[in-house]
Amino acid sequence: MTRFSRRGFMAASAAMAASLAVPARLRAATAPLSLTATTRVIEVGGRAATVMGLMNAQGGLGLTLDTDQRFRVDLTNALPVETIIHWHGQIPPNAQDGVPNTNPMLKPGETRGYNYAPRPGTFWMHSHLPEQEIGLLAAPLILRSAEDLRADRQEVVMFLHDFAFRSPEEVLAEVTGGMAMDHGSMNHGAPAGMDHSAMGHGSMGTMGEMSGMADMAMDLNDFNFDAYLANDRTLDDPEVIAVEPGGRIRLRVINGASMTAFWVDTGTPARLVAVDGEPVQPLSGDRFSIAPAQRLDIEINLPADGAALPILALREGARERTGIVLAPKGAAIPRMATLSDEAHPPVSGDMRQELALRAVTSLPERPVQNRQMVMLGGAMQPYVWTINDQTWDNRTPVAAKNGERVELMFHNMSMMAHPMHLHGHVFQVVEVNGTRFAGALRDTVHVPAMGSVTIAFDAGEVAPWMLHCHHMGHLATGMMTELAVSA
């Protein structure tokens, strides 16, 4: 892919699109792929910032491989602190899942091998330590199916994140009011000396930010980040991806943001064809919601007139936006501000998209053998978030037996929505706010404030599997537990 940019000298961020386009079949089939957790430099608003990243052997961010090969990766920790990387949405053996309470931390300088059968689709990988995920230790993980390789279409990845010039520790301390807790054996943060100091002005969000939406009681946007990034860049200097007029695009959108939900605005009619790596019956539209940790695969037929097409990500309940530009050769690239004229509506609480989604292949019909309610609670003051009235430190795991059909109702008694993620399993959304239906297969579902979502799955490997909110402030103050699968 061709990049049109005044920042070509910044190789770390410039390599993202090119590295994702390298076919796995062109790489050595017998050798493991290389991945390194390290620091890198990006440019945000004209200022250099040192952040973390997961870099491949070509110097780009993330990995792309074909699912006819094993997921064989050697992960090296080049950071001066311990880390642990989770393969979000994949189902490796529990010993390779990448969480600090069940897997050993990766020490500075250590390399660890991973080897399992991958699942096709749009996934991502990230540190399972909140400070490190806030610090951008995350990247795309694309597993292309045989159908993807045969398809006559161009693939484009849009990886979203929220960014602050202040250190991740400062961000988390302000959000949580000092109430964050560690779900590993010790404190693991960002490397000392990370450059987030220039012009930091993030601050706690308020209901007033909702700009005329005060009739809605939910809380939004715990923190006002300094910038919102798409493929490491802001909208005033976006990545421009070369495309063919009238061509077909599969846009893989990954919300790697630590605390932010977005609307994805395609600017032209499009079709949502997969969520969280799982195919859905095509859903037409030009604006789709995406909560933290979720993914969207969107098919777009490009206009034949040769005009550039911005793809925007709109921060919920606020004016900020980011995005990329799809541009045929010679197209004029529009100048776009990072702020819209008006605030975008909330994603949280708007369940119309979830209610409209239908899996291409549903879970097999089976009697439900284990039904449980999982109560989500918490508040902004004091900033503590719970599962079944418990934080991580005093958790009671959710019990299940291997092979049984389980239904969990997430009953949210708080005034914030929660993107709930279950490790080691694919689940189906089967009920939203009392409406029963055969919804999408997912690994992360957004549970609305004062609402409920029921998921169904078959309990997998006998092991403890993390179950938690993927909002880093909520996770850090206790909204996580385990699904304890027994024999």
Q: What is the pLDDT of residue 76?
A: 98
Tokens representing 10 are: 């910044």
Q: Examine residue 23 and say whether the peptide bond preceding it is cis (omega within 30 degrees of 0).
A: no
User: Look-up: residue for tokens 């969107």?
Assistant: 298
Q: What is the pLDDT of residue 233?
A: 97
In contact, 255 and 347? CB cutoff 8 Å: no
pTM over 0.85: yes
Give the C-alpha separation, 419 to 425, whole Å: 16
Q: What is the pLDDT of residue 227?
A: 98
Q: What is the pLDDT of residue 206?
A: 29
Q: How many C-beta atoms surround the C-beta of residue 205 within 10 A? A: 20
Give the C-alpha separation, 236 to 5, whole Å: 11
Give the C-alpha separation, 461 to 452, whole Å: 27
Strands 452-458 and 418-422, sheet pairing: unpaired
Q: What is the pLDDT of residue 217?
A: 54
Buried b (16+ CB within 10 A) or exposed e, 180-203: bebbbeeebbbbeebebeeeeebe
Nearest to 268 by CA among 249, 289, 286: 286
Task: Give me the residues of the chain with pLDDT under 50, please.
Answer: 1-28, 185-187, 193, 195-216
Nearest to 349 by CA among 447, 248, 472: 447
Give the C-alpha separation, 30 to 422, whole Å: 32
Q: How many C-beta atoms surround the C-beta of residue 296 within 10 A? A: 24
Nearest to 223 by CA among 242, 253, 238, 201: 201
**What's CA 376's distance to the chain center, in Å?**
21
Buried b (16+ CB within 10 A) or exposed e, 7-27: beebebbbbbbebbebebeeb
Q: What is the pLDDT of residue 204?
A: 32
Per DSSP, which regions of 243-308 are E strands? 248-255, 262-275, 278-290, 295-301
Structural element, H or E, at residue 474: helix 472-476
Q: What is the pLDDT of residue 153?
A: 95
Q: 373-397, pLDDT tens digit by residue?
A: 999 999 988 999 999 999 999 999 9
Give the C-alpha separation, 315 to 78, whole Å: 33
Q: 33-46, pLDDT tens digit by residue?
A: 999 999 999 999 99
Q: What is the pLDDT of residue 155?
A: 97
Give the C-alpha separation, 315 to 260, whole Å: 7
Q: How many C-beta atoms surround the C-beta of residue 367 within 10 A? A: 6
Q: What is the pLDDT of residue 179?
A: 75
